[in-house]
Structure 1
Amino acid sequence: MTVGDREALAKVPAVTLIFWIIKVLATTLGETAGDTVSMSMNLGYLAATAIFVAILVLLVWRQIAATRYRPFLYWATIIASTTAGTTLADFATRSLGIGYAGGSLLLFACVAASLWLWHRMLGSVSVATVHEPRAELFYWITITFSQTLGTALGDWTADTGGLGYGGAAIVFGVMLAVIAALYLRTTADRVLLFWSAFILTRPLGAAVGDLLDKPIDRGGFAFSRPYASGVLVAAIVVLVLVWPLYPTGRSNASISRGT
Structure 2
Amino acid sequence: MESSSLSSEMLNKVPQVTIFFWIIKIMATTVGETAADFLNFNLHWGLTNTTLVMTVLLVITLLFQFKSSRYVPAIYWLVVVLISVVGTLVTDNLTDNLGVPLQTSTISFAILLILTFTVWFVSERTLSIHSIFTTKREAFYWLTILFTFALGTAAGDLLSEDMNLGYFNSGLIFAAMIALITVAYYFFKLNAVLAFWLAYILTRPFGASLGDFLSQSHKHGGLGLGTTGTSAIFLVIILCLVIYLTKTRIDESGQKKSE
Q: TM-score, normalised by structure 1?
A: 0.90
Question: How many equivalent residue pairs?
Answer: 248
Q: Match of 2:3?
A: none
> CA contact under 8 A between 1:38 and 1:87: conserved in structure 2?
no
1:197 CA displacement: 0.7
Q: Match of 1:13?
A: 15
- Equivalent AA in structure 2 for residue 251 of structure 1: E
Rounded to whole Å, the distance in 2 between the matches of 1:233 and 1:240 is: 10
1:199 CA displacement: 0.7
Deviations 1:120-162 (A, max 9, x none): 1122111112121111111101101111110111111111122
Deviations 1:34-73 (A, max 9, x none): 1111122222222212221111111111111101110010
1:97 CA displacement: 1.1
Rounded to whole Å, the distance in 2 between the matches of 1:82 and 1:244 is: 21
Q: Please show how residues 10-159 of structure 1 align to structure 2 within 5 Å.
A: 10-159=12-161
Rounded to whole Å, the distance in 2 between the matches of 1:225 and 1:46 is: 19
- Equivalent AA in structure 2 for residue 252 of structure 1: S
Unaligned runs of 5+ in 2: 1-6
Rounded to whole Å, the distance in 2 between the matches of 1:224 and 1:160 is: 22
Q: Match of 2:219?
A: 217
Rounded to whole Å, the distance in 2 between the matches of 1:56 and 1:131 is: 21
- Structure 1 vs Structure 2: percent identity of aligned residues? 32
Deviations 1:195-251 (A, max 9, x none): 11111111011101111121211111222312211110111112223346879x343
- Equivalent AA in structure 1 for residue 80 of structure 2: I
Rounded to whole Å, the distance in 2 between the matches of 1:218 and 1:175 is: 24
Report the aligned-residue RMSD. 1.9
Rounded to whole Å, the distance in 2 between the matches of 1:31 and 1:24 is: 11
Deviations 1:64-86 (A, max 9, x none): 11011100100000000000011
Deviates more, 1:182-191 or 1:71-80: 182-191
Pair 1:250–1:212, CA change in 2 (3 A): closer
- Equivalent AA in structure 1 for residue 98 of structure 2: L
> CA contact under 8 A between 2:17 and 2:251: conserved in structure 1?
no
Hey, which bits of structure 1, 4+ residues long, moved more than 6 A?
244-247
Pair 1:60–1:244, CA change in 2 (3 A): closer
Rounded to whole Å, the distance in 2 between the matches of 1:244 and 1:69 is: 10
Pair 1:220–1:198, CA change in 2 (3 A): same
- Equivalent AA in structure 2 for residue 225 of structure 1: T
Deviates more, 1:181-190 or 1:162-171: 181-190
Q: Please show how residues 158-237 of structure 1 align to structure 2 within 5 Å.
A: 158-237=160-239
Q: TM-score, normalised by structure 2?
A: 0.90
**Is 1:252 aligned to 2:253, yes or no?**
yes
Rounded to whole Å, the distance in 2 between the matches of 1:250 and 1:158 is: 34
Rounded to whole Å, the distance in 1 between the matches of 2:139 and 2:233 is: 30
> CA contact under 8 A between 2:12 and 2:133: conserved in structure 1?
yes
Pair 1:39–1:129, CA change in 2 (3 A): same
Rounded to whole Å, the distance in 2 between the matches of 1:135 and 1:159 is: 36
**Secondary structure in 2 aligned to 1:9?**
coil
